[in-house]
Amino acid sequence: MKIRTLGRHGLNVSSLGLGCMGMSFAYGGADQAQSIRTLQHAVELGVTHFDTAEVYGPYVNEELVGRALQAVRGKVTIATKFGFKILPHGEGVARMAGVDSRPQHVREAVEGSLKRLGVESIDLLYQHRVDPQVPIEDTVGAMADLVRAGKVRHLGLSEVSAATLRRAHAVHPIAAVQSEYSLWSREPEREVLPACVELGVGFVPYSPLGRGFLTGKLNDTQGLAADDYRRTLPRFQDAAMHSNRTLIEALTVLADRRGCTPAQLALAWLLAQGEQIVPIPGARQIRHLEENVAAAGIALQADELVAIQAALAAERIVGQRYGEVELGMVEL
């Protein structure tokens, strides 16, 4: 696996990371033992970058990642996130009640993440969502204090605008921005990606396979668990999925021509968008992990990139990526 650098201060990671959210959260029940095997096999395959968050579970995903990677701590980079207000009641469900990036909460959240991950320092700490009640300078200032204290190594932001990124970067260098970015979520291309290039900030696309849609294996929601989060998203409603199927058919034709799967083609396309880009596709099963990792070895030619973008032109995609409440939490 080739190495890429996030930011300008030596955060070197594998060109493909592993998003761990689905192992504990959002996509229906998961087998913890299977997830641990997948995490450990990822290291064997050369993956060094693992992404989690306190709200995934909540809390249990950090515990899972920390336990699975404890023996290889020195070989891997662990990223986690804070920024949601998590209520102290409820069992087995996300107990989010808005956002909270007050400096005091940042410090409390990091102490909790350090304990759950079983580490002395967090490699990459993201603000999960911008808190409109707290100036970004105050939040990043608190994050920077944690860097100086040795509890965090590098800082990141998630789903921020170019303007917010610039304000944050003026307080302390930002190593990475994490936002949804894929062949069917192209919003970062307008302003955020150019700002990242300008400032020397890495970019980490989450949901790089469109929450499974770009794999070509998801024709409808019938096979999803009853509590699968995707059932609530506009793009996964029947009419939108039916319309978007034509895009996947076109992607499948191009993948067949290249001798790879649609998922691999989608990831290869993302990797070709810039050396600062490190996608974090999720995978709970080893076979899906191996399929994704193989995409890192696919080098697309210029004409292939043009054909892929034409087949999945942004204006042809039906449905928003989030519902209105969640869209209100992102700045893109």
Catalytic residue (choose from 27, 56, 59, 126): 56
Domain contains 326:
no
Cα–Cα distances (Å) from 303 to 309, 310, 313, 315, in that order, read 10, 11, 15, 21
Q: What's the pLDDT at 296? A: 98
Single-letter amino acid code for the residue at 191: E
Domain contains 221:
no
Domain contains 317:
no
Q: How far is CA 218 from the centre of its chain?
A: 20
Which pTM was predicted?
0.96
* CB 224, CB 28: distance < 8 Å: yes
* CB 130, CB 164: distance < 8 Å: yes
243 contacts: CB under 8 Å, gap ≥ 6: 318
| CA distance linking residue 272 with residue 283, whole number of Å | 21
Q: Which range has the worst mean pLDDT, 28-37, 46-55, 69-78, 293-302?
A: 28-37
Unique residue bearing structure tokens 């959260």: 25
pLDDT digits (tens, 9 = 90+) for 14-56: 999 999 999 998 787 778 999 999 999 999 999 999 999 999 9
Domain contains 138:
yes
Domain contains 311:
no
3-state SS class at 245: helix
The range of the structural domain enclosing residue 95 comes to 3-209+273-298
The helix or strand, by DSSP H or E, that contains position 123, with its residue range, turns out to be strand 122-127
Q: What's the pLDDT at 88? A: 75
Q: How far from each other are the two terminal CA atoms of the chain, in whole angstroms? A: 31
* CB 84, CB 99: distance < 8 Å: yes
Domain contains 177:
yes
Q: What's the pLDDT at 89? A: 60
* CB 56, CB 20: distance < 8 Å: yes
Domains: count for the chain: 1
Domain contains 323:
no
* Mean pLDDT taken over the chain: 94
3-state SS class at 65: helix
Query: 46's torsion region: left (phi>0), alpha (psi -120 to 50) or beta?
Result: left
Answer yes or no: 56 catalytic: yes
3-state SS class at 200: coil
Query: Is residue 210 predicted with pLDDT exceeding 80?
Result: yes
Domain contains 305:
no
* CB 185, CB 160: distance < 8 Å: no
CATH number at residue 202: 3.20.20.100
Q: What's the pLDDT at 28? A: 74
